């Protein structure tokens, strides 16, 4: 925590988080959420502790207006906001949607004024002021954005902001619409604006140059009290400031309070990933699959001594668990710890054999998942592979453009059983089929994820979590075919749940 570095600056004590996943996030190419999905996300955001939820842009369609209206009527703790241009039609749509806040914007840069709005600066200023007054006269809280602020002539930007403040705006926003700012510019602009106005200032950064989070933090260093962000950083083009990254950085690096319940971050990230279909990259900070995974021998050794050797935050802070991944860089320490976690006490000789097999798989490009590790470890320990209670034997897929059907054969306690399921694609058909298998054992699938590979020599990976009597078990799968990797992951989770159940009952 480096708060003392900023003693001369005006670091706010607290930052309000303005989430725009449902508006700018929904502008991500290829994303379209149903009203029910938007409501589900809005509840998750509220639960996460977001202060202001930008629910949509009501004027774009009747459906969008109804979605915003329904969110506004859900009785959320967060303020619900609607986007509007400086036009009566847009503001009326926000009023009809019954929101608390309206986010009014007009572009102020000469580039936008000339090529998009075909207006003079004075005309844009006039619209900004009159529409702020109009929204205020209807009882709305006005959050005003000067679109393309970072490419706007700074004195004109300040003039616009001072004028809308006089017209009654409640807070101001500085968008880096094209992601063209760097931290020093953001700090300069926020500082300049803050010298001239009294109302809270916010920053809205895009990630075109990968600087959205850094620029948002620079804005806060200069005194911005509100930060716009989206879950998983989704949004137009390269996306927006990633909410999880900025919230954790504010907490960890600056000691600034937010209302965010950090431990809920991963859960909300997974929900948004599933509903939008925008896959979070494995190496993404905080919420990526590998964010708390350690493979190299030196790192694992350090982590086992103390996690802070190679982790800036503890995974539990954001609702995650640390994962030791085995591969060609693994050392004997990691192998020993993981074997113990699977209840296998191996001697030095067995550990060396196990490590040699793991390194050989790593050298040939393969990945040693926990499931695979368990299989090898059991063999090395002398325990027969077929002692598993549930084992995937065969999977067949048939179908065409209309949908897919899957048949899975399993060996369950020595009996061969067959299950089938259909779905719009192979993955959903596998989940349906495996759901029937695990339900019969009294378990339910609560989460799953597949990382397909398109490389002819690569392995797809999958992870699945199932719940049994309130206990969650996570299984992993690896196979060139993603659907088989997923079926393995679910059945490996079931195998672990069966073992846990046996231990509890014993």
Interface residues with ligand KIV (CB under 6 A)? Answer: 24, 83, 105, 145, 147, 175, 177, 204, 206
Alpha helices in 225-296 (DSSP H): 243-249, 265-276
Minimum CB separation of residue 241 from ligand KIV in Å reads 11
Question: What is the token pair recorded at 198?
Answer: 């009294």
Minimum CB separation of residue 235 from ligand KIV in Å reads 8
Minimum CB separation of residue 175 from ligand KIV in Å reads 3
Minimum CB separation of residue 236 from Zn ion in Å reads 6
Q: Which is nearer to ligand KIV, 101 or 105 (CB)?
A: 105
Contact of residue 147 among Zn ion, ligand KIV, none (CB under 5-8 Å per partner type): ligand KIV
Residue 15 near residue 259, CB atoms below 8 Å: no
CA distance 159 to 121: 10
Q: Which is nearer to ligand KIV, 24 or 463 (CB)?
A: 24
The DSSP bridge pattern shows strands 141-147 and 171-176 to be: parallel
- The DSSP bridge partners found for residue 328 are none
Minimum CB separation of residue 256 from ligand KIV in Å reads 23
- The DSSP bridge partners found for residue 203 are 174, 227
Contact of residue 426 among ligand KIV, Zn ion, none (CB under 5-8 Å per partner type): none
Q: Which is nearer to ligand KIV, 175 or 421 (CB)?
A: 175
Contact of residue 230 among Zn ion, ligand KIV, none (CB under 5-8 Å per partner type): none
User: Using a CB cutoff of 8 Å and minimum separation of 24, what contacts does 288-291 make?
Assistant: 289/449, 289/451, 289/463, 290/325, 291/315, 291/320
Query: Residue 424: how many CB atoms within 10 A of its CB?
Result: 11
Contact of residue 65 among ligand KIV, Zn ion, none (CB under 5-8 Å per partner type): none
Instruction: Tell me 86's DSSP state.
Output: S
CA distance 1 to 11: 13
Q: Which is nearer to ligand KIV, 147 or 370 (CB)?
A: 147
Minimum CB separation of residue 286 from Zn ion in Å reads 21
Q: Which is nearer to ligand KIV, 89 or 386 (CB)?
A: 89
CA atoms within 13 Å, Cβ hemisphere of 362: 18
Residue 177 near residue 206, CB atoms below 8 Å: yes
Q: Which is nearer to ligand KIV, 42 or 83 (CB)?
A: 83
Q: Which is nearer to Zn ion, 24 or 207 (CB)?
A: 24
Contact of residue 69 among ligand KIV, Zn ion, none (CB under 5-8 Å per partner type): none
The DSSP bridge pattern shows strands 460-468 and 444-451 to be: antiparallel
CA distance 220 to 243: 14
Identify the helix (H) or strand (E) that includes residue 131: helix 121-137
> How many helices (H) and strands (E) would you count in the chain?
16, 16
CA distance 322 to 356: 24
Q: Which is nearer to Zn ion, 24 or 26 (CB)?
A: 24
Q: Is 408 exposed, middle or buried (0-12, 13-18, 19+ CB in 10 A)?
A: buried
Contact of residue 145 among Zn ion, ligand KIV, none (CB under 5-8 Å per partner type): ligand KIV
Q: Angle CA(257)–CA(260)–CA(265) in degrees, nearest 5? A: 135
Residue, CB closest to Zn ion: 24
Q: How far is the CA of 263 from the CAs of 43, 233, 319, in angstroms? A: 16, 18, 4
Contact of residue 156 among ligand KIV, Zn ion, none (CB under 5-8 Å per partner type): none
Q: Which is nearer to Zn ion, 150 or 330 (CB)?
A: 150
The DSSP bridge pattern shows strands 16-19 and 226-229 to be: parallel
CA distance 262 to 274: 20
Helix (H, G, I), strand (E, B) or coil at 159: helix
Minimum CB separation of residue 123 from ligand KIV in Å reads 19
Minimum CB separation of residue 48 from Zn ion in Å reads 20
Q: Which is nearer to Zn ion, 114 or 237 (CB)?
A: 237
Minimum CB separation of residue 309 from Zn ion in Å reads 38
- Which residues, other chains included, contact 227 with Cβ-Cβ below 8 Å and sequence gap of 6+? 15, 16, 17, 18, 202, 203, 216, 219, 220, 241, 246, 250
Q: Which is nearer to ligand KIV, 175 or 319 (CB)?
A: 175
Minimum CB separation of residue 60 from Zn ion in Å reads 15
Minimum CB separation of residue 257 from Zn ion in Å reads 25
Residues in the site for Zn ion, rule: CB under 5 A?
24
Contact of residue 16 among Zn ion, ligand KIV, none (CB under 5-8 Å per partner type): none
């Amino acid at each position: 925590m480096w708060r003392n570095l900023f003693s001369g600056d005006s670091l706010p004590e607290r930052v309000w988080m303005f989430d725009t996943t449902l508006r700018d996030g929904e502008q991500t190419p290829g994303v379209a959420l149903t009203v029910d999905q938007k409501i589900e996300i809005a509840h998750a955001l509220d639960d996460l502790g977001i202060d202001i939820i930008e629910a949509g842009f009501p004027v774009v369609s009747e459906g969008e207006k109804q979605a915003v209206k329904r969110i506004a009527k859900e009785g959320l703790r967060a303020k619900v906001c609607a986007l509007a241009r400086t036009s009566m039609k847009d503001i009326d749509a926000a009023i009809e949607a019954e929101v608390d806040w309206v986010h009014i914007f007009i572009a102020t840069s000469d580039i936008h004024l000339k090529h998009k709005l075909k207006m003079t600066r004075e005309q844009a200023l006039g619209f900004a002021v009159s529409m702020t007054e109009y929204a205020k006269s209807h009882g709305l809280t006005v959050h005003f954005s000067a679109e393309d602020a970072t490419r706007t002539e700074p004195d004109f930007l300040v003039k616009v902001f001072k004028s809308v403040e006089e017209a009654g705006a409640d807070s101001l926003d500085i968008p880096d619409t094209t992601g063209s700012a760097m931290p020093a510019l953001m700090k300069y602009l926020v500082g300049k604006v803050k010298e001239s106005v009294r109302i809270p200032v916010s920053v809205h950064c895009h990630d075109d140059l990968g600087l959205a989070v850094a620029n948002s933090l620079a804005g806060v260093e200069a005194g911005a009290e509100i930060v716009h962000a989206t879950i998983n950083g989704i949004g137009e083009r390269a996306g927006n400031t990633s909410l999880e990254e900025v919230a954790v950085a504010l907490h960890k690096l600056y000691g600034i309070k937010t209302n965010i319940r950090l431990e809920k971050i991963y859960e909300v990230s997974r929900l948004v990933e599933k509903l939008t279909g925008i896959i979070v990259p494995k190496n993404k900070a905080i919420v990526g699959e590998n964010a708390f995974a350690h493979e190299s021998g030196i790192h694992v050794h350090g982590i086992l001594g103390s996690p802070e050797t190679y982790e800036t935050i503890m995974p539990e802070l954001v609702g995650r668990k640390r994962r030791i991944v085995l591969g060609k860089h693994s050392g004997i320490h990691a192998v020993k710890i993981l074997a113990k976690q699977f209840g296998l006490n191996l001697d030095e000789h067995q550990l060396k054999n196990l490590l040699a097999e793991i390194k050989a798989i790593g050298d040939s490009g393969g990945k040693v998942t926990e499931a695979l590790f368990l299989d090898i470890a059991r063999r090395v320990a002398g325990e027969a592979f077929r002692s598993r209670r549930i084992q995937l034997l065969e999977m067949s897929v048939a179908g065409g453009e209309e949908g897919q059907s899957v048949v899975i054969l399993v060996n369950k306690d020595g009996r061969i059983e067959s299950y089938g399921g259909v779905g719009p694609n192979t993955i959903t058909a596998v989940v349906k089929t495996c759901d029937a298998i695990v339900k019969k054992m009294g378990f339910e699938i609560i989460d799953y994820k597949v990382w397909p590979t398109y490389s002819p020599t690569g392995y797809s990976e999958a992870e699945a979590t199932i719940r049994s009597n309130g206990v969650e078990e996570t299984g992993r799968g690896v196979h060139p075919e993603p659907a088989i990797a997923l079926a393995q992951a679910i059945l490996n989770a079931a195998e672990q749940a069966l073992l846990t159940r046996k231990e509890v009952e014993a």
